[in-house]
Structure 1
Amino acid sequence: MTQQEKKPLTAEQQAEAEKQQLLWQRECFQNAQKHLAEKGILPKTVIEKDSRFLAPLCALWKFKAQNGKDYWVITGRLPTDHAQVSAAKDAREALRYFSLQWQLKADQIMSTGVRDKTQVDFANLLINRAHGLYEMHDNDQLWANEPK
């Protein structure tokens, strides 16, 4: 069935889809806060206008922390990670930043000669997710409504 042949969602289906997305967003938000706290960074507020949600793949949050610094935090169906806002000017560039960082981390893991299955699996996961993030960064359609 093509996109045009799909039947529109009923009101109940639309409401359920919206409910599921809100639950997903809340879970990602909680994971982002937990990640920062585990790194010793206490979040103060989220900067919603700069945060982006590419459900159900990833959420990219911009947080202001109690230490006065701002951070990007990525969560979703990928490893949760963070970086200071100075690493990327906007959400799109933050995706590219995490993509490149994860490729470097995977290279470091593999170059150490470690053959621990868990480490190799993690390196492969990083590579896979890094490629996906870069594809999202590179997809102009995803960013069509972004301010230039």
Structure 2
Amino acid sequence: MAEQSVSPEVSDEERAKWVREQFQKSNKFLAEHGVIFDSVATEESRYLMPYIAIWKIKAIDGKKYWVISGDLPTDFTLETNAKDVREVLRYFSMHWQLKAENLLHAGGTDESQKAFAELLIKRAESLFSMQSASELWK
């Protein structure tokens, strides 16, 4: 798995622990949504510790998914929605913007839903910035 680190002072053990935690978090999220992990395509997965981890996962039914976790909501989508990690960031950025708009315009939205919508918007903007930053994709 490729990594771009912004914190060189992080030890290998801390990095490995964070990656393992994100992987477990992603698999738990998938399982909660009825998707059972079979394997991971490490060469297509990426992480930028401590912000984001993106996994390309193959489920036991043969379907492939992109899963995102880190300092943002954990989410997943079918592999067919994005050809690579950069497109995954664009996909979730747009998806979360739409989801946030729907939450904000839904009748009877409570404060926790408004706060979640605001979090989605902030993280969507961050994802868009990341996918636009050419220095991350050299």
Q: Which residue number in structure 2 is paired with residue 114 of structure 1?
A: 108
In percent, how many aligned pairs have the same letter?
46
2-structure distance, mates of 1:114, 1:134:
29
Give the 3-state SS of the residue equivalent to 2:14 in structure 1.
Answer: helix
1-structure distance, mates of 2:12, 2:41:
22
Answer yes or no: is 1:18 the counterpart of 2:8.
Answer: no
Structure 2, unaligned runs of 5 or more:
1-7
Structure having greater relative contact order (Cα 8 Å, sep ≥ 6): 2
* Root-mean-square deviation over aligned CA pairs: 1.2
Q: Which residue number in structure 1 is paired with residue 91 of structure 2?
A: 97
Larger of the two Rg values belongs to structure: 1
Shifted more, 17-26 versus 33-42: the winner is 17-26
Normalising by structure 2, report the TM-score: 0.92
Structure 1, unaligned runs of 5 or more:
1-8
1-structure distance, mates of 2:118, 2:41:
32
1-structure distance, mates of 2:35, 2:41:
16
Corresponding residue pairs, total: 131
Answer yes or no: is 1:58 the counterpart of 2:52.
Answer: yes
2-structure distance, mates of 1:29, 1:84:
17
Map 1:81-96 to 2 at 5 A. Answer: 81-96=75-90
